[in-house]
C-alpha cells in the first residue's frame, strides 16, 4: 500500500502466533446501497433511507430487526462507521457527499446541450438513455464524480438525470438507481431532481463512487424518464472524477470529449438533439 493511503485492516499475526486476543473488534464493509458494521454482539446495516440492527448472538440468521428497541446501540455503531469511513476517506455512494465538496458551479466555454420531447404515450416506467462520453480509467472508493447541471427555462423541471453506466446486452446497466447515487443534498439522482435554484440556474453536484471502486464505469449518459408529457432541455459541463488528493480527471469539458452513440427514437421519446453551445447561449 502507498504510505499516503491508510491500510484498511489490522495485523492479526501476533495474535495467531501467540494464541492471543485478536486486535479486531469490529468488521466494516460498504457495497452498493449499504454499509455495514459487525461487532461480537451486533450487525448494523445502513441504507440511504433506513437502518437495520440485528442481535447476532441471539439471531444469527438476522430475522428480527431490533433497531427501534436499541437506539443507543444504533447511535454508537453509526458513529464507529463514520469514523471508519472518514479514516479511509471513503466517498459513500448511498449517503450524501461531504458538504465541504459543495462548491459553486463554474460552467465556461462550450457546454453540452441535450433536448427531446416526451410524448403523451410515455409512462413513468419508460426511459431513454443518451450516452455522450466515455472514460476507461479506474475509479476508487475514495473518488467522487462531480458536474455542473442546468435545465433551460421552459423545460420540464424534473425526471432527467446524469448517470454512469456499463454496457449490457441489450441496453445499459445504470450505476445510479434507487438507494444509490445520492448527491451532497441527499437526493437520489434517479428521481431526476431539479436544480435548487430552479430552471435556468446552474447547480454543482457531487456523488461518491465507493460502490464502484476499484473498477471501471466507462459510459456516461443523460437519462430521460416518461414522467410527464413535454420538452426537456438539459445542460451539463465540468463532468470529472475528483480524487482523494484533490486532483481531478476530466470526462467532459467541451466538444472534443463527446462520444455520442446512436440513440433510436421511439413513440415515447422524439426530437432528440445533442450539440454543444457556448455557455452564454444557454437557454436560447
- Do 10 and 20 form a contact (C-beta atoms < 8 A)? no
Instruction: Look at residues 48, 68, 88 and tell me which one is the last residue of a structural domain.
Output: 88
| Structure confidence at residue 168 as a pLDDT band (50, 70, 90) | confident
* Domain-located, residue 262: yes
224/259 same-domain check = yes
Considering the domain architecture, whether residues 19 and 150 belong to the same structural domain is answered as: no
84 lies in the same domain as 104: no
- The helices-and-strands tally (H runs, E runs) of the chain is 2, 14
The overall longest dimension of the chain from CA atoms, in Å, is 73
The reply to whether 6 falls in a domain is no
Distance CA 53, CA 63 (A): 10
Residues 58 and 160 in one domain: no
**Quick one: average pLDDT of 172-181?**
94
Cell (9 digits) for 23: 486486535
Q: What is the mean pLDDT of residues 234-239?
A: 98
pLDDT tens per residue, range 93-142: 999 998 888 889 999 999 999 999 999 999 999 999 999 999 999 999 99
- Is 132 in the same domain as 204? yes
Buried/exposed code over 173-196 (b: 16+ C-beta within 10 A; e: otherwise): ebbbeebbbbbbeebbbbebbbbe
Residues 255 and 128 in one domain: yes
Average pLDDT, the chain: 93
User: Residue 274, class by beta-carbon neighbours within 10 Å (0-12 exposed, 13-18 middle, 19+ buried)?
Assistant: middle
For residue 253, the domain's CATH number is: 2.60.120
Nine-digit cell string for 102: 459543495
Of 66, 88, 110, the residue at which a domain comes to its end is: 88
4, 38, 254, 44: which is closest to 142 by C-alpha? 4
* Model pTM score: 0.90
Looking at 88, 109, 130, the residue that finishes a domain is: 88
Does residue 209 register a pLDDT over 90? Answer: yes
**In which domain, by residue range, is 135 found?**
99-281
Query: What distance, in Å, lies between the first and last C-alpha atoms of the chain?
Result: 51
Q: Which residues pair with 277 in a beta bridge?
A: 111
Please tell me the total count of domains within the chain. 2
Does residue 2 fall inside a structural domain? no
Q: Is residue 5 part of a domain?
A: no
Tell whether the model's pLDDT for residue 1 goes beyond 90.
no
203: pLDDT confidence band, cut at 50, 70 and 90? very high
CATH number of the domain that residue 58 is part of:
3.30.1120.10
Could you say which DSSP state residue 188 is in? B
Average pLDDT over residues 232-245: 96
Cα–Cα distance measured from residue 184 to residue 94, given in angstroms and rounded to the nearest whole number:
11
Amino acid at each position: 500500500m502507498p504510505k499516503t493511503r491508510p491500510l484498511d485492516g489490522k495485523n492479526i499475526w501476533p495474535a495467531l502466533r501467540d494464541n492471543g486476543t485478536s486486535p479486531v473488534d469490529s468488521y466494516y464493509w460498504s457495497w452498493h446501497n449499504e454499509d455495514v458494521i459487525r461487532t461480537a454482539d451486533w450487525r448494523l446495516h445502513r441504507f440511504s433511507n433506513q437502518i437495520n440492527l440485528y442481535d447476532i448472538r441471539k439471531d444469527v440468521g438476522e430475522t428480527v430487526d431490533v433497531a427501534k428497541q436499541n437506539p443507543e446501540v444504533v447511535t454508537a455503531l453509526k458513529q464507529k462507521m463514520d469514523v471508519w469511513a472518514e479514516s479511509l476517506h471513503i466517498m459513500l455512494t448511498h449517503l450524501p457527499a461531504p458538504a465541504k465538496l459543495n462548491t459553486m458551479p463554474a460552467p465556461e466555454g462550450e457546454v453540452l446541450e441535450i433536448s427531446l420531447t416526451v410524448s403523451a404515450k410515455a409512462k413513468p416506467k419508460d426511459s431513454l438513455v443518451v450516452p455522450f462520453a466515455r472514460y476507461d480509467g479506474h475509479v476508487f472508493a475514495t473518488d467522487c464524480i462531480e458536474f455542473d447541471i442546468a435545465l433551460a427555462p421552459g423545460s420540464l423541471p424534473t425526471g432527467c438525470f446524469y448517470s454512469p453506466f456499463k454496457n449490457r446486452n441489450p441496453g445499459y446497466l445504470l450505476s445510479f438507481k434507487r438507494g444509490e447515487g445520492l448527491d451532497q443534498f441527499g437526493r437520489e439522482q434517479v428521481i431526476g431532481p431539479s436544480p435548487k435554484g430552479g430552471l435556468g440556474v446552474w447547480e454543482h453536484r457531487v456523488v461518491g463512487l465507493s460502490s464502484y471502486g476499484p473498477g471501471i464505469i466507462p459510459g456516461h449518459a443523460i437519462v430521460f424518464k416518461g414522467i410527464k408529457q413535454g420538452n426537456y432541455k438539459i445542460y451539463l459541463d465540468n463532468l470529472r472524477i475528483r480524487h482523494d488528493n484533490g486532483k481531478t480527471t476530466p470526462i467532459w469539458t467541451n466538444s472534443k470529449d463527446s462520444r455520442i452513440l446512436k440513440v433510436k427514437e421511439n413513440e415515447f421519446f422524439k426530437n432528440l438533439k445533442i450539440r454543444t453551445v457556448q455557455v452564454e447561449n444557454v437557454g436560447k
